[in-house]
């Protein structure tokens, strides 16, 4: 574990006058972007779970510097060569999953280090967690459906916006964090509010999983008001043609759901996890060629949409095996991860899963 953490930190954690950040653009696909709120959430969680308080404080300073006017992290930070970091106009809004992970990290810091640190006094982590939770609930949770919005930019002005407003992304189904938020807040009304988010996300997950033989949950879900139920996105909703299938968002869902189950043993999710396991791992359903989980899967047939794999797909499926007690398949997955190509996304997910696996009690 230590060697894996050190390799990840050496590869992706960078310093700046504003603090530390997680570099996510080695491929150059995102122009001059250097980090995003998703990456920052992973880094803050990994650092605090590893008890690296010095890094955590520097990451917190970066987050505080790059909050928007709503108190949420600006989703993308850029840097022109040899110049200061900056945020472009299209990077000012939020992406929900990053804020959720950052809030969870702050709560864990308040539990592990209630006395604070040389950089932050006692109570500071709790104070920042409370402020971020309030912003998340106000701007990133649907006021009626109680599911995560895609970001603070969602609104119901016009038909196209309404479709996005009444959609949700499965990579934001970070149920163990929502459970943690419920445990953290003191006010009974706030506890009930976060409990309603847990129940809404579990309900959406169970509903969509039950609609296919595979039980797989797609990247994006849309709420059908007429039928009063959630459906897989049809066609392109936000990112591309695979929005209604398992792609680079839903690759994380087996991990996020399994982690919540490991923490809470919520029986409502067990049938979902069992169906996912059967489709992704079971020898009776070898279309997905475990442990080389394909980086795109049709939710209806369970067949691959692409002919390659990635750590971001292997690690969550392997963790699902771990939680369900299949140690042999989990070991296969660990071996496949060791041989897979490195990247910010896959490596960060792999390390965070490993840290969460040995720290489940902190989320209870």
Q: pLDDT (tens digit, 9 = 90+) per residue, 119-137?
A: 999 999 999 999 999 999 9
Report how far residue 128's alpha carbon sits from residue 64's, in angstroms, rounded to the nearest whole number.
Answer: 9
Sign of CA dihedral 112, 118, 119, 122: positive
Which tens digit of pLDDT belongs to each residue from 328-352?
A: 999 999 999 999 999 999 999 999 9
Q: Is the pLDDT assigned to residue 55 strictly greater than 90?
A: yes
pLDDT for 287: 84
Its pTM stands at: 0.98
pLDDT at 18 > cutoff 80: yes
Which single residue is written with the structure tokens 């998340």?
Answer: 136
Distances (CA, A) of 133 to 102, 105, 107, 122, 272: 10, 12, 10, 19, 28
Contact partners, residue 217, CB within 8 Å, separation at least 6: 170, 173, 205, 208, 209, 246, 250, 253, 257, 272, 276, 299
Please give the average per-residue pLDDT across 220-241, as a whole number. 97
Angstrom distance (rounded) from CA 226 to CA 211: 17
Contact call for residues 60 and 39 (beta carbons, < 8 A): no
Q: For 22, phi and psi rounded to 5 degrees?
A: -100, 115
Task: Please report the pLDDT score of residue 129 as a whole number.
Answer: 99
Pairing of strands 220-224, 33-36: unpaired
> What is the Cα–Cα distance from 318 to 315, expressed in whole angstroms?
5
Averaged confidence pLDDT in the chain: 97
168-188 pLDDT, tens digit each: 999 999 999 999 999 999 999
Q: Lowest-pLDDT range, 28-32, 235-239, 293-297, 314-318? A: 28-32
How many Cα atoms sit within 13 Å of 278 on the Cβ side?
A: 14
Check whether 232 has a pLDDT greater than 90: yes
> Model confidence over 256-314: pLDDT tens digits?
999 999 999 999 999 999 999 999 998 877 789 999 999 999 999 999 999 999 999 99
First to last CA, the chain: 22
Q: What is the pLDDT of residue 306?
A: 98
Which residue ranges form the domains of the chain, and what is each CATH number?
A: 1-140 (1.50.10.10)
Phi and psi at residue 243, to the nearest 5°: -60, -30
What's the alpha-carbon Rg for the chain, to the nearest Å? 19
Q: Which residue has the tokens 């041989």?
A: 339
Give tens-digit pLDDT for 70-113: 999 999 999 988 789 999 999 999 999 999 999 999 999 999 99
pLDDT at 1: 85
Answer yes or no: is pLDDT of 358 > 80.
yes
For residues 47 and 101, give the distance between their C-alpha atoms in angstroms, rounded to a whole number. 12
């Amino acid at each position: 574990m230590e060697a894996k953490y050190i390799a990840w930190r050496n590869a992706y954690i960078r310093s700046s006058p504003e603090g530390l950040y997680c570099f996510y653009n080695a491929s150059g696909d995102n122009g001059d972007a250097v980090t995003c709120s998703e990456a920052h959430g992973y880094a803050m969680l990994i650092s605090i779970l590893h008890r690296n308080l010095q890094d955590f404080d520097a990451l917190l300073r970066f987050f505080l510097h790059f909050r928007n006017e709503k108190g949420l992290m600006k989703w993308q930070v850029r840097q022109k060569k040899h110049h200061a970091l900056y945020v472009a106009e299209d990077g000012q809004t939020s992406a929900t999953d990053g804020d959720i992970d950052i809030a969870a990290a702050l709560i864990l810091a308040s539990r592990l280090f209630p006395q604070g640190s040389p950089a932050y006094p006692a109570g500071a982590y709790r104070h920042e967690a409370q402020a971020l939770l309030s912003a998340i609930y106000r701007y990133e949770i649907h006021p009626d459906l109680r599911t995560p919005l895609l970001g603070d930019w969602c609104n119901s002005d016009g038909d196209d916006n309404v479709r996005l407003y009444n959609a949700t992304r499965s990579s934001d189904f970070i149920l163990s964090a929502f459970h943690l938020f419920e445990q953290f807040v003191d006010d009974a009304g706030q506890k009930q509010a976060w409990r309603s988010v847990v129940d809404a996300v579990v309900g959406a997950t169970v509903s969509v999983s039950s609609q296919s033989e595979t039980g797989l949950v797609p990247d994006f879900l849309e709420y059908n008001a007429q039928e009063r139920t959630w459906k897989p996105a049809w066609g392109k909703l936000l990112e591309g043609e695979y929005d209604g299938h398992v792609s680079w968002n839903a690759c994380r869902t087996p991990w996020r759901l399994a982690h919540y189950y490991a923490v809470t043993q919520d029986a409502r999710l067990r049938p979902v996890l069992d169906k996912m396991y059967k489709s992704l791992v079971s020898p009776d359903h070898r279309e997905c060629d475990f442990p080389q989980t394909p980086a795109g899967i049709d939710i209806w047939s369970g067949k691959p949409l692409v002919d390659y794999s990635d750590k971001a797909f292997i690690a969550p499926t392997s963790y699902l095996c771990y939680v369900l007690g299949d140690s042999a398949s989990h070991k296969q997955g660990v071996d496949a991860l060791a041989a897979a190509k490195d990247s910010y996304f896959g490596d960060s997910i792999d390390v965070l899963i490993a840290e969460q696996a040995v720290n489940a009690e902190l989320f209870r």
